[in-house]
Amino acid sequence: MKNNQRSKTAELALNGLLIAIVFISTYFIQFQLPFSANGGLVHVGNVALFTIAIVFGPRRGAIAGAFGMGLFDILSGWFVWAPFTFIVRGVMGFIIGMIAQKGKESPQKSVLFSVIAILVSSVWMIAGYYATEVILYGNLLAPLNSVPGNITQITIGLMAAVPLSLSLRKLSLNFDDDSKSTYKTQTEA
């Protein structure tokens, strides 16, 4: 019983830490693109979300993305966006984690599956935020202005997160959702 309680506490602490990493990297490291009034916010939160989903798996990727970026919207005055961000980024983290986990056996597969995961999830993100803007602004054309900013965010996130996650995986730490939070290196196991 104590081990189960300790495991739940460790799980809660890890999820809290991952949420904080996504929130902090979204909140404090950002800039507005000069060519887009809507959707022009570019932040490093994508690097954190992509890396977490690739390294830690779909469940933790979904939790970190949904809560970390949803919290950013709430604390940044974008309250109306928070429910949409919660869904869009949660599903995005889950998609990345699901696809990326399939290539974790080798570095070559890991890179390929991580890139595919980010690209597939990016289609979801762009479509999700387009639909969000249609709902919020009641216009089918205006949301197209946010697509270049979203593509910029995705590109920056992909270029940074894939090598970072590959480096973290080389540590041979057992971080993914299926590991049951053992966190042992392969030499310890």
The structure tokens listed for 14 are 């890890």
pTM of the predicted model, to two decimals?
0.85
Per-residue confidence (pLDDT) for residue 38, from 0 to 100: 55
Q: List the end-to-end C-alpha distance of the chain, in Å, as a whole number.
A: 23
* Cα–Cα dist 127/131, whole Å: 6
With pLDDT > 90 as the criterion, what percentage of the chain qualifies? Answer: 61
pLDDT band at 146 (very low <50, low <70, confident <90, very high): confident
| pLDDT > 70 in the chain, percent | 84
Class of domain 2-30+37-179: mainly alpha
Q: Average of pLDDT values for 69-90? A: 96
Check the CA dihedral 176-179-183-187 and report its sign: negative
Whole-number pLDDT of residue 94: 98
Q: Given pLDDT bands bounded at 50, 70 and 90, which one contains residue 165?
A: very high
pLDDT range class, residue 22, cuts 50, 70, 90:
very high
| pLDDT given at position 172 | 58
- 168-177 pLDDT, tens digit per residue, is 877 755 555 5
The pLDDT, as a whole number, for residue 189 is 41
Is the pLDDT higher at 157 or at 173?
A: 157
Instruction: Give the model's confidence band at 40: pLDDT under 50 very low, under 70 low, under 90 confident, else very high.
Output: low
CA angle at residue 121 from 117 to 126, to 5 degrees?
150
Ordered alpha helix ranges (H), the chain:
2-27, 45-56, 58-75, 82-101, 107-137, 147-170
* C-beta separation of 76 from 45 below 8 A: no
Can you give the residue ranges of every domain in the chain?
2-30+37-179
